[in-house]
C-alpha cells in the first residue's frame, strides 16, 4: 500500500510541475467550457490510472494466469477454475487471495470462491484480482450455452461404386444437431474399416475396396463437460464396378461344336461379375447365359458380352463357324525314292466338304526329303517321316515314311535278245557305297561296271540278279532278266513281222534292201554309229523320194512311213551292222520320235 501511495504522490507532483511549466503557463482555462474541462480532467485521470497500472505490473512480485482462456458452461452445471500464480520476486506472499467478478452476471455469476453458475445464455468474462493488488488480475471467458442433445446423419441412398465417376468425387456425408442453437455445431468423422473406405474432416467418403463400412459423426463437445457426447452412424456400401471385359477377338468353331467362351471380368474384385451375352446371328451360333457357344451352321457372327452392372464394360467376339477336318489319311505307308526323285503323296481328307482343307507339310529330316504342296522330293540318303497337318485348327495329321536307299534302279524287269545285250544304270544315293551283284542264272553274265550293270546274253532263258549293300540289307533289289531268241532275215522280202518281235538285218551291203511288211506308223533304227541307211516306202526306187538318215550316238531317228511297207537300203557294208525294232508304242501319226508301232 505504501508503494501505491508513493506512486500516486509522484504522479501529482509530476502534473504540478507540468502545469507550472512554460507549456502549461500558456493554458487559458477561460477558453474551455465546463464540460470540456471535465473531459480533460477525465483523460488526465485515466492516464494517471494507466501509468499507475503499468508501474504496478512492472514491479509486480507475482503473475496470475488462467491456463484455459475459455470455458463452456451448460445449464445446471457449475465450474470452478482457479488461476495459476507464479512468484516473480522474493517477499511475495505465499498465498494469494482473490476478488472475483463477472462482466455479465445475468449470463454467468461468480461466487466469492470463484464458482461460476450459468444464469442465461451468452458470453461473460470472469475476472480474478489479487486482493492485495488490484492490478494483478486474470480473466477467462465463459460461454453459457446449450449442449448437443442429438445428431442426425445421412449418406448415399445407393452404394458408392468404384470404377465410376462416383469414385473420383467421393460422397459428402450430411448431418444436423439438436437443438439448433447448441453451442457445438461441428462433428468429427470416423469410419469403421479404413481398408474399405476413408472419410475426411469434411465428411467426404472415398471408397477403396468393395464392402460395407459404418461412418460415425461425433459431436465436438469436449468430454470434460461430464455428459455423454452425442453421436450418430450411417452404413455405407462400397461396390466395385466392372471396368473391363477381356475376351478372345476371334473364335473358330466347328459346326455342331459347343464350347465355353473364356471371358475375364476386370477387376477380380468386381461386385457383380454377371455377363449378358447376345449373338448377332442365332442361325449361325447361339450363346447361353453361362457363355457356352453352340455353333450351328457355317458362317460368321459376333457375340456381344456386356457387364450386367450397367456401367458400360463390354467386349465383342467374332465367331467363325466352319466344318473342320475330322480325319486325314495317307494310304501309302512308305515311299521309296532316289535322290532327286519326287512323288505326289495321296491324301484323303474327311469330310469331303470340309471348309478348309489346307495342309502344312513338315519333314523330320529335311536333309533326306522335303515336302510342299503334297509333293515329296528326296535330297539325301536315309529315312525320314513326312507329316501333313491341317490348317483349320483341328490339328489333325497323317504321316508317311520316306526311304532313300543307298542305291536305286529305274526298272526291275528287262527283256533282250540273245545278240542284243543290255546296260542297266545304277544311281548311288550314298556316294561311294558298295554294291554287290549276285547272278543266279546261266543265261547271261552280269558285270558291275562303274555306275552300270552290263548284261551279256549267253542263251535264251530267264534269271534274276540281286543287288545289295552289306550295310543296308533292307535296300536289296532283285532284277529279272529275260533273254529271247533272235529272228534273222536272210532274204530280200519277208511277211509282216509280229507285234514286238525284234528283227536283226545283218550283212547289209551297198544296194541291198529288206522290206518289212505290215502297217507301220513309226520306226526307230539303231546302229553302232558308223552306218548310214536310207529309209523309204515299199515299191520306191532307190532314187525316188528316198530320205537319207544319218545315225548319231548309236541311235538313228525314225522316219514316218506313208505306206504299208518300209524298205531299208544299206549304203555301207559292215558285218555287225544291223537295224532293229526296239519296242512298240502308240504314237500320233505325223510326229517324229524314237519309237515304232507295228499293227
In whole angstroms, what is the distance from residue 296 CA to residue 281 CA? 10
What number of other Cβ atoms are within 10 A of residue 12's Cβ?
A: 10
The alpha carbon dihedral of 519, 521, 526, 527 has a sign of positive
In whole angstroms, what is the distance from residue 85 CA to residue 64 CA? 5
**What is the average pLDDT score of the chain?**
78
| Mean pLDDT to the nearest integer, 276-291 | 96
Instruction: List domains and CATH numbers for the chain.
Output: 2-58 (no CATH), 62-144 (2.60.40.1080), 150-240 (2.60.40.1080), 244-322 (2.60.40.1080), 327-404 (2.60.40.1080), 407-484 (2.60.40.1080), 488-599 (2.60.120)
- Strand boundaries in 226-325, DSSP class E: 231-240, 244-246, 250-254, 258-260, 264-266, 275-279, 285-287, 292-295, 299-307, 314-322
Separate counts of helices (H) and strands (E) for the chain: 4, 56
Residue 405 cell numbers, joined? 536307299
Residue 542 cell numbers, joined? 532307190
pLDDT tens digits along 11-51? 444 554 444 444 445 556 667 787 777 777 788 777 766 77
The pLDDT, as a whole number, for residue 486 is 57
List, in sequence order, every residue forming a beta bridge with 322; answer none if it has no partner: 254
pLDDT tens digits along 451-495? 888 888 888 889 999 988 888 888 888 999 898 875 433 333 333
94 Cβ contact partners less than 8 Å away, ≥ 6 residues apart? none
Whether 120 shows a pLDDT value over 90: the answer reads yes
**Using an 8 Å Cβ cutoff, are 348 and 329 in contact?**
yes
Give the residue from 263, 234, 230, 260 showing the smallest Cα distance to 246. Answer: 263
**Using an 8 Å Cβ cutoff, are 577 and 528 in contact?**
yes
In whole angstroms, what is the distance from residue 57 CA to residue 67 CA? 19
**Using an 8 Å Cβ cutoff, are 378 and 400 in contact?**
no
Amino acid at each position: 500500500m505504501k508503494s501505491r501511495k508513493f506512486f500516486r504522490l509522484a504522479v501529482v507532483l509530476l502534473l504540478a510541475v507540468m502545469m507550472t511549466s512554460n507549456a502549461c503557463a500558456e493554458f487559458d482555462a477561460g477558453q474551455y467550457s465546463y464540460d470540456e474541462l471535465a473531459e480533460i480532467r477525465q483523460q488526465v485521470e485515466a492516464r494517471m490510472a494507466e501509468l499507475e497500472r503499468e508501474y504496478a505490473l512492472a514491479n509486480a512480485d507475482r503473475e496470475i494466469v488462467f491456463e484455459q482462456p475459455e470455458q463452456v458452461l451448460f445449464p445446471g452445471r457449475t465450474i470452478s477454475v482457479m488461476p495459476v500464480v507464479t512468484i516473480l520476486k522474493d517477499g511475495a506472499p505465499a498465498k494469494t487471495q482473490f476478488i472475483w467478478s463477472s462482466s455479465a452476471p445475468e449470463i454467468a455469476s461468480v461466487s466469492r470462491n470463484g464458482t461460476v453458475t450459468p444464469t442465461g445464455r451468452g458470453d461473460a468474462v470472469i475476472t480474478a484480482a489479487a486482493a492485495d493488488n488490484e492490478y494483478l488480475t486474470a480473466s477467462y471467458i465463459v460461454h453459457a450455452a446449450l449442449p448437443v442433445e442429438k445428431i442426425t446423419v445421412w449418406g448415399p441412398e445407393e452404394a458408392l461404386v468404384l470404377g465410376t465417376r462416383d469414385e473420383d468425387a467421393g460422397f459428402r456425408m450430411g448431418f444436423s444437431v439438436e437443438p439448433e442453437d447448441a453451442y457445438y455445431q461441428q462433428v468429427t468423422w470416423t469410419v469403421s474399416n479404413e481398408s474399405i473406405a476413408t472419410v475426411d474432416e469434411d465428411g467426404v467418403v472415398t471408397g477403396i475396396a468393395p464392402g460395407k463400412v459404418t461412418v460415425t459423426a461425433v459431436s465436438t463437445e469436449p468430454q470434460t463437460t461430464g455428459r455423454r457426447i452425442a453421436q450418430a452412424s450411417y452404413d455405407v456400401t462400397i461396390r466395385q464396378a466392372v471396368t473391363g471385359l477381356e475376351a478372345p477377338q476371334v473364335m473358330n468353331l466347328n459346326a455342331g461344336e459347343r464350347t465355353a467362351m473364356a471371358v475375364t471380368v476386370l477387376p477380380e474384385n468386381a461386385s457383380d461379375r454377371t455377363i449378358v451375352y447376345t449373338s448377332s446371328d442365332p442361325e449361325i451360333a447361339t450363346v447361353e447365359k453361362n457363355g457356352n457357344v453352340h455353333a450351328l451352321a457355317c458362317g460368321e457372327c459376333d457375340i456381344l458380352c456386356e457387364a450386367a452392372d450397367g456401367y458400360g464394360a463390354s467386349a465383342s467376339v467374332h465367331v467363325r463357324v466352319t466344318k473342320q477336318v475330322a480325319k486325314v489319311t495317307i494310304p501309302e505307308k512308305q515311299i521309296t525314292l532316289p535322290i532327286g526323285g519326287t512323288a505326289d503323296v495321296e491324301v484323303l481328307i474327311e469330310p469331303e466338304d470340309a471348309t478348309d482343307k489346307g495342309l502344312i507339310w513338315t519333314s523330320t529330316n529335311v536333309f533326306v526329303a522335303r515336302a510342299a504342296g503334297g509333293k515329296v522330293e528326296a535330297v539325301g540318303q536315309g529315312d525320314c517321316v513326312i507329316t501333313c497337318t491341317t490348317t483349320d485348327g483341328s490339328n489333325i495329321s497323317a504321316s508317311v515314311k520316306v526311304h532313300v536307299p543307298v542305291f536305286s534302279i529305274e526298272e526291275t524287269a528287262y527283256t533282250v535278245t540273245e545278240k542284243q545285250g543290255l546296260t542297266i544304270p545304277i544311281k548311288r544315293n550314298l556316294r561311294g557305297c558298295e554294291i554287290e551283284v549276285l547272278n543266279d542264272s546261266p543265261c547271261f553274265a552280269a558285270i558291275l561296271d562303274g555306275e552300270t550293270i552290263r548284261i551279256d546274253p549267253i542263251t535264251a532263258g530267264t534269271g534274276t540278279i540281286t543287288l545289295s549293300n552289306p550295310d543296308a540289307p533292307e535296300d536289296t533289289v532283285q532284277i529279272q532278266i529275260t533273254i529271247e531268241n533272235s529272228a534273222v532275215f536272210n532274204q530280200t522280202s519277208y511277211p509282216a513281222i509280229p507285234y514286238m518281235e525284234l528283227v536283226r538285218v545283218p550283212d547289209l551291203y551297198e544296194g541291198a534292201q529288206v522290206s518289212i511288211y505290215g502297217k507301220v506308223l513309226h520306226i526307230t533304227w539303231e546302229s553302232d554309229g558308223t552306218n548310214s541307211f536310207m529309209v523309204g516306202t515299199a515299191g520306191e526306187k532307190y532314187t525316188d523320194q528316198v530320205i537319207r538318215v544319218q545315225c548319231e550316238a548309236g541311235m538313228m531317228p525314225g522316219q514316218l512311213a506313208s505306206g504299208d511297207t518300209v524298205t531299208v537300203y544299206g549304203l555301207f557294208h559292215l558285218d555287225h551292222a544291223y537295224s532293229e525294232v526296239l519296242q512298240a508304242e502308240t504314237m500320233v501319226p505325223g510326229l517324229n520320235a524314237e519309237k515304232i508301232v507295228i499293227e
